[in-house]
Chains A and B, each alone.
Chain A
Amino acid sequence: MMLREPEYIIEINEKMMDLQGIIDDAGDSLVSNLEERPDNLKDVLTERCKEAQVSEELIIEMSVGALIRYQPFASDLRALTVAMKVAYDLSRVCRYIRNIGEVMEDLGVDARSEPDVLSLIKDARTMVGIALEAYFSKDAKLAMRVIKDDDYIDDRYRTILRKYAVRRDLPGSVMLFIGITARIAERMADHAVYISQEVIYLTTGRREGYR
């Protein structure tokens, strides 16, 4: 049953969309840098992360304020607790994106020659995007699809590790870059799963798995 949402939840979700925009910007900056290698990536991503953190704190503040003021129950209560967790997850995803940019700049690696990692990062971003789509549309089936896709990302991550563990022709910096960024991408996908688990709780009241 879909009930009309109270105004305070609509306002919180508008802020969540702003936060999604920040994460998308950060992700776009990262991917275009991975592909084109322009300068000042770290600065750009650090700025996006600050904005994401401010946005996360605003969502938490609004949610706590609504809990105090309205003392909501049932789907309204779940909407607020889920909003706080999703805001945290998105902020965390932004920091992961920054981490990848930092690793790339610190190691001076040209990521264009490492398509495996590049596509893993893109897939993890896609999972986050679908998880958010499920959140905004309260679509438990879509959220469940993200949870199932996590196995695919985990397999890809392990495949990359196995593939590069035996390579002797690559410099250490490239090996480090691949190992670290593949792991970070896999963690980004985990947060897409966490968001999806929250969507299932939001829509059904049941917990699907644990963080």
Chain B
Amino acid sequence: MGADVELDVLSLNAWFGEKQALKNINIQIPRRTVTAVIGPSGCGKSTFIRCMNRMHELIPGARVAGKVLLGGEDIYTEMDAMDVRRKVGMVFQKPNPFPNMSVEDNVVAGLKLSGGYKKGELGRIAEKNLRAVGLWDEVKDELKKSGASLSGGQQQRLCIARALAMEPEVILMDEPTSALDPASTAKIEELVQKLKAYATIIIITHNVQQAARVSDMTCFFYLGEVVEFDNTKALFEAPKNPLTERYITGRFG
């Protein structure tokens, strides 16, 4: 695996019971880039990113075969699942701040669980990560308020700050703007570009325009297979596969 590859996916297959959701996936996600994952509903996008942090195996009846190398180590055979999820953070479709925790505590919740931090130190970490997601100026006077009191867009950035606080190597985002208004979406998209300075980003989106705006690489899934994986400009300007062409020009089906 090259030094510039963050995630090396080798012959990855995934099932829900008898149904195969991913078929022989082989891709290399470059380090410190944004990779967009696109494709029609049910094509395996979410299953794919859930295999990247071992969340797929939490579903009863689900199983995985193949390798996912993170920094050269197979996350399924050479790493502890909790360690994988610490190194591979996740942001979900709907913002999910812990409603009983303050804004500040939301950011450092994971660190508190792992222990070993002093209170002042946690405060500094919270500030650093709230600044990183552009939320500090908006919430610095409301740090003790509930995370649930923020707007939807602010809550999503809070969740990103929470993921970032764990200093992950990869952040997975599953349609992070689908529940947000256009202004909040624009802020998240801008943030995604900045986040690649801290981590490798993999983002699922149904919005192909968004994929084109935010990503460096794009991966098109169809029926559980990778149809095309290329740099975003090449894929959106002149896709090599006719299926990709049909999907991104809206002539699918």
Contacts and interface: CB of A to CB of B under 8 A. Distances in A.
A77 B239 CA distance: 12
A204 interface: yes
Interface residues of A, number: 14
Given A1-B245, A3-B245, A3-B249, A74 B238 contact: yes
A95 to B, nearest CB: 30
Given A71-B209, A74-B245, A3 B237 contact: no
B242 A73 contact: no
A3 B248 contact: no
A190 to B, nearest CB: 25
Contacts of A206: 238
Contact of B248 (A4, A74, A205): A74
A71 B251 CA distance: 14
A159 to B, nearest CB: 39
A75 interface: yes
Which residue among A72, A75, A76 has the maximum number of chain B CB atoms within 10 Å of its CB?
A75
A78 B238 contact: yes
B231 to A, nearest CB: 13
B208 interface: yes
B16 to A, nearest CB: 31
A16 B128 CA distance: 56
Nearest to A205: B238
B245 A77 contact: no
Interface of A: 1, 3-4, 71-78, 204-206
The 9 closest A-B pairs by CB, nearest first: A205-B238, A1-B242, A73-B248, A73-B236, A71-B209, A74-B245, A76-B249, A74-B249, A74-B239
18 contacts: A1-B242, A71-B209, A72-B249, A73-B208, A73-B237, A73-B248, A73-B249, A74-B236, A74-B237, A74-B245, A75-B245, A75-B249, A77-B236, A77-B237, A78-B238, A204-B238, A205-B237, A205-B238
